[in-house]
Amino acid sequence: MERLLLFPQPFPDESLYSLAVRYHRLVANCSYRLTSQELFGTYSRTCGSILPCCLGALSQRLAAAYSVGELIRCFTLLPLYQPFLDDATYSAACIAMAGNHGNGLKMSLGLTASRFLKHASFRYCGSCVHEDTQNYGVAYWHRIHQAIGTCICPHHGEVLRAMAFPGRTDWRCMLLPAEADGTPVMESPSGTAASTIAEMQLWGFGHPSDVKTLLAGNFLKHRLDEMGFLKSGRIREQRLRAFLSPRLLESPRVNEFQEIAYSSDWALRILRPRRTVVQPLKFYFFCWLLDVNLEQLKCFHPKKDIRSGDLSFEKDTSNAADEIDIEARRSAFSSSSYLKCHDKPGYHWLHRHDREWLTQYVASHPFIRLRECLIDWKARDLAVARELLAANDLILSVEGKPQKITRAALDRRVACGHEFLRTPDNFPISIRRMNDLLESNHDYQVRKIKWAARHYLLSERCAVSVIYRFAGIRVSHVTEAEVFKLLSCMK
């Protein structure tokens, strides 16, 4: 693999695409395809993405000056998502970015489902362009400006501008900030959440371990408890929705925010993630909705006795209950006639003070929900069987050329035909009835010959080929003796 003889010196918070553009101009390449071959050894279609791939090949071409991990950490936006990913998902994302194909990468991080990507654009700050030109001699693309939901420069407080590439080109024309027309992504930033969220994202970008601590310590639920939206560790959903609704109306008039500002359902899903990846924008936006600022995020220290969102542990439990009290509560709990453990007396006390015993009890006494069958399958089976008989009679009574009695022909004339074919175990009588009614090729051709004899007044003197032609038979399943016998019986 060829080594790169030169490579630009990275600037602070510079994206990989920005480095590729500066390399492209440094070596005076005529097209992005040539630049991509030199940097990645292939035509990479992800260089302009916030999560580029082919980083393994680039690391080898740089003679290990940057490992794949350093390239991901220093020049991509994956560190912004790292706190919200488990170890397996993060490792898989790093492997995908190191390889030549990033199929499914954005889907695994929840970016595709979030619908934020359709509003992505190349954004820059005018003040950053001016300062970078003075300090480094050239403007460059900042990573934090490309983060989804960053509409205000966290360094200067200015509205970012989205650059429109000339003509119908895209990022492969290799331009730097402000080299084409740019339009503000929003109106005046005063009185909006955009600046606060931009500062939070910048801090989270540089401190993924601290954000991980926030998530592990259930920061959002601590905040809800402080605001009175929790009762016995449970969310007061109606009160929380009533509080969030007017706050959502104050959200920035930007496409990314409008994707989630119409409802508070996504906020509740953050509190109950259920193995889904939480988008950084949604987390920091939710923090702003709860009147949290950056300093509160920095100063948060999780309490040792908070587990899994159960905030009822905040009470002082240093004086442990004595053994007699524990045994009495265990006895009252286990002797209760209620089937559900949540309904038994003392459940919350045991959950707080004697959780290990409660866990073992619940595991050994599973609650089995008995569900009554809402459908009388036997009656439905008999009804379908009757419909099949009626369908059979209808097919046999059709005027004109006979129709073959097949599964499809019977199914079309039965109200719930698809249902009983998909669940044959629920329709044993109907399935047997259908199998009895199905017509073989031999029986079908016998009916066709009888019809042709009546319709065209055929006699025994007709040749067999003539009879077959009138009956529409190409491949015979009846013998000539049977044909003449049928014609003789028709007299």
**Tens of pLDDT along 189-228?**
656 789 999 999 999 999 999 999 999 888 998 899 888 8
The DSSP H or E segment spanning 231 is strand 230-231
Long-range interactions of 272-277: CB distance < 8 A, separation 24+: 276/110, 277/81, 277/84, 277/85, 277/89, 277/108, 277/109, 277/110
Per-residue pLDDT, 22:
96
Residues 7 and 73 in one domain: yes
Of 341, 364, 387, the residue that ends a domain is 364
Q: Choose the weakest-confidence range: 27-31, 86-90, 296-300, 412-416.
A: 412-416
Residues 9 and 125 in one domain: yes
The answer to whether residue 45 is domain-embedded is yes
pLDDT for 307-366, tens place per residue?
Answer: 444 443 344 443 444 678 788 888 888 888 777 787 788 888 888 788 888 888 888 887
Per-residue pLDDT, 423:
84
Cα distance between residue 151 and residue 295, in whole Å: 20
Cα distance between residue 214 and residue 270, in whole Å: 13
The full DSSP string for 67-134 is -HHHHHHHHSSHHHHGGGS-HHHHHHHHHHHHSS--TTHHHHTTHHHHT-GGG---EE-HHHHHHHHH
Q: Which range of residues forms the domain containing residue 394?
A: 377-439
Collapsing DSSP states into helix, strand and coil, what is residue 135? helix
- Looking at the chain, the whole-number percentage of residues with pLDDT higher than 90 is 48
If pLDDT is split at 50, 70 and 90, which confidence band does 122 have?
Answer: very high
For tokens 């905030």, what's the residue?
A: 311
With beta carbons less than 8 A apart as the criterion, state whether 124 and 141 touch: yes
The answer to whether residue 202 is domain-embedded is no
With beta carbons less than 8 A apart as the criterion, state whether 426 and 450 touch: no
Residue 491 has pLDDT above 80, yes or no: no
Cα distance between residue 16 and residue 99, in whole Å: 16
Residue 258 has pLDDT above 50, yes or no: yes
Residues 33 and 181 in one domain: yes
Residues 297 and 342 in one domain: no
Residues 163 and 271 in one domain: no
CA-to-CA dists, residue 92 to 17, 95, 144, 399, angstroms: 22, 5, 23, 66
Per-residue pLDDT, 307:
40
If pLDDT is split at 50, 70 and 90, which confidence band does 49 have?
Answer: very high
Per-residue pLDDT, 310:
45
CA 460 from centroid of its chain's CA atoms: 71
Residues 298 and 253 in one domain: yes
pLDDT for 85-114, tens place per residue?
Answer: 999 999 999 999 999 888 889 999 999 988
The full DSSP string for 373-398 is --S-HHHHHHHHHHHHHHHHHHHHT-
The DSSP H or E segment spanning 162 is strand 161-163
With beta carbons less than 8 A apart as the criterion, state whether 300 and 217 touch: yes
Q: Which of 9, 57, 54, 16 is nearest to 171 (CA)?
A: 16
Per-residue pLDDT, 311:
41
Of 120, 151, 185, the residue that ends a domain is 185
Axis crossing angle, helix 480-489 with helix 464-471, rounded to the nearest 10: 80
pLDDT for 268-317, tens place per residue?
Answer: 888 887 778 899 999 999 999 999 999 999 988 776 544 444 443 344 44
What is the number of domains present in the chain? 5
| Burial of 251 (C-beta count, 10 Å sphere; 0-12/13-18/19+) | buried
Of 421, 439, 457, the residue that ends a domain is 439
- Looking at the chain, the whole-number percentage of residues with pLDDT higher than 70 is 94
Q: Choose the weakest-confidence range: 81-90, 236-245, 457-466.
A: 457-466
Given the DSSP bridges, would you call strands 182-184 and 230-231 parallel, antiparallel or unpaired? unpaired
Residue 60 has which token pair? 């080898």
* Residues composing the chain: 491
CA 25 from centroid of its chain's CA atoms: 39
With beta carbons less than 8 A apart as the criterion, state whether 82 and 39 touch: no
pLDDT for 469-486, tens place per residue?
Answer: 888 888 988 888 888 888
The answer to whether residue 201 is domain-embedded is no
The answer to whether residue 310 is domain-embedded is no
The answer to whether residue 371 is domain-embedded is no
Cα distance between residue 17 and residue 176, in whole Å: 9
Per-residue pLDDT, 168:
79
Given the DSSP bridges, would you call strands 234-235 and 161-163 parallel, antiparallel or unpaired? unpaired
Given the DSSP bridges, would you call strands 161-163 and 123-124 parallel, antiparallel or unpaired? antiparallel
If pLDDT is split at 50, 70 and 90, which confidence band does 63 have?
Answer: confident
Residues 24 and 131 in one domain: yes
Beta bridge partners, 14, equal 142
Cα distance between residue 75 and residue 54, in whole Å: 13
Mean pLDDT of the chain: 87
Residues 407 and 359 in one domain: no
Residues 40 and 171 in one domain: yes
The answer to whether residue 49 is domain-embedded is yes
Residue 82 has which token pair? 């790292």
With beta carbons less than 8 A apart as the criterion, state whether 72 and 78 touch: yes
Per-residue pLDDT, 312:
37
The answer to whether residue 195 is domain-embedded is no
With beta carbons less than 8 A apart as the criterion, state whether 213 and 294 touch: no
Residues 410 and 434 in one domain: yes
Residues 2 and 131 in one domain: yes
Cα distance between residue 77 and residue 266, in whole Å: 23
Residues 417 and 468 in one domain: no
Given the DSSP bridges, would you call strands 123-124 and 182-184 parallel, antiparallel or unpaired? unpaired
The answer to whether residue 330 is domain-embedded is yes
Mean of pLDDT values over 113-133: 93
Mean of pLDDT values over 73-90: 94
Q: Which of 312, 233, 227, 231 is nearest to 272 (CA)?
A: 233
Q: Indicate left, alpha or beta for 124 from its phi (over 0: left) and psi (-120 to 50: alpha).
A: beta
Report if pTM > 0.85: no
